[in-house]
Amino acid sequence: MTDTGPQNDPIEAIRREIDGIDKSLLALLAQRLQLAEGIASAKTPGGLPIRSGREVALLRRLIAEAPAPLERELVVELWRALIGASLRRQRIIDVVVGGGRSDPTRLFDVARRHFGARTRISHVGEPQAALQKAAENPQTVVAVTPWPAAPGVGSWWPALSERRFHDLHLIAGLPLLSGAASGDEPEACVFAAGATDSAGGGDITLLLAFDSHHKAQRALNEAGLVGREVARSEPRVLLRVEEFVGLNDPRAAALNSYGLEGVRVLGSYARI
C-alpha cells in the first residue's frame, strides 16, 4: 500500500524546502540591515544618505550576477525595497511630488517603487512647490517632478534658474530601468539639496544656461562636451550632456567663455 501522507507528498516537500529558504533569507536580510545601521552610526551627521550613483552600480552588478530565472525587474524591485529600508535606518526622508499637468498617480507610483512602500509621500501640486519643499528642508526632503523636457508637462523647468532653487540638484531619473526604445527618457526626476553627486556609469548630465544668441551647441563643442539642446524657453536653454559632469566641473564653467551665461550643472543621473 502506497504511503500518501504529508511527509511523502512531493508538493509538501517542496513547500518545506521553500520554508527553509525563507528562514535563511530572513536571517540574511536582518544581517544586511544591521550592517546598514553600522554605516549610519559611522557616518558624519549631515546631508541626505542617498548615493544614487552607487545604488545604480549595485543594481547593475546584481542584475549581471542574477541566475535564471531571476528577472531584472524583480532584482530591482527587491533591492530598491532593501535600499529604502536601509535609508530609513539612517534618516527619515519625505518625498514630495509635484505633478503639475502630469498624472500625479503615475508619479506617486514611480516614487513609491523607488523609495519603498513605507516612505511618506505627499502631492503638493506644481513642480515648483515640490522644489520649494526640498529647498527648505535639505536634510529630510526630496522632490519628484515630471521629466523637464517631456512633452505635455508644461514648461516648468525654467524655474530652476531662480536663486531659491540653486542648492537643488538632480540626483536620479526614474524609473531606473530604462525601456527598450532608443532614446528612452525618464518619466520623472528626483531633486535634492543635501545629497552628494556621484557617478553610476553611463551617466547623463543636465545643464541650465542663458543662451540669448543661440550659441549652445557651439559652446558645448568648444568645451569638449558631447551634448545637445533638449528644451528652450528664451533665453534659457536646457542641455543634455552624454557623461557625468560634476557640480564643480571646470568644463561647465568654461561654457561661460564660449557665449553662454549663468551656466549651472543641474545634476546627473544614471539608469539601467
pLDDT in tens, the chain (272 residues): 455 566 678 899 999 999 999 999 999 999 999 888 887 777 766 678 899 999 999 999 999 999 999 999 999 999 999 999 988 888 889 999 998 877 788 999 999 999 998 999 999 999 999 999 999 999 999 999 999 977 666 689 999 999 999 999 999 999 999 875 545 889 999 999 977 778 999 999 999 999 999 999 999 999 999 999 999 999 999 999 999 999 989 999 999 999 999 999 999 999 99
The end-to-end CA distance of the chain, in Å, is 57
Q: What is the pLDDT of residue 215?
A: 95
Q: What is the pLDDT of residue 2?
A: 54
Please state, in angstroms and as integers, the Cα–Cα distance from residue 16 to each residue in 9, 31, 36, following that order.
11, 23, 31
Report the predicted TM-score, pTM, of the whole model to 2 decimal places.
Answer: 0.90
Q: What is the pLDDT of residue 153?
A: 62
CB atoms inside a 10 Å sphere around CB 118: 11
Q: What is the pLDDT of residue 180?
A: 53
Q: What is the pLDDT of residue 221?
A: 96
Q: Based on C-alpha coordinates, what's the Rg of the chain? A: 22
Q: What is the residue extent of each domain of the chain?
A: 46-269
- As a three-state string, the secondary structure of the chain is CCCCCHHHCHHHHHHHHHHHHHHHHHHHHHHHHHHHHHHHHHCCCCCCCCCHHHHHHHHHHHHHHCCCCCCHHHHHHHHHHHHHHHHHHHCCCEEEECCCCCCHHHHHHHHHHHHCCCCEEEECCCHHHHHHHHHHCCCCEEEEEECCCCCCCCCCHHHHHCHHHCCCEEEEEECCCCCCCCCCCCCEEEEECCCCCCCCCCCEEEEEEECCCCCHHHHHHHHCCCEEEEEEECCEEEEEECCCCCCCCHHHHHHHHHCCEEEEEEEEECCC
Q: What is the pLDDT of residue 184?
A: 81
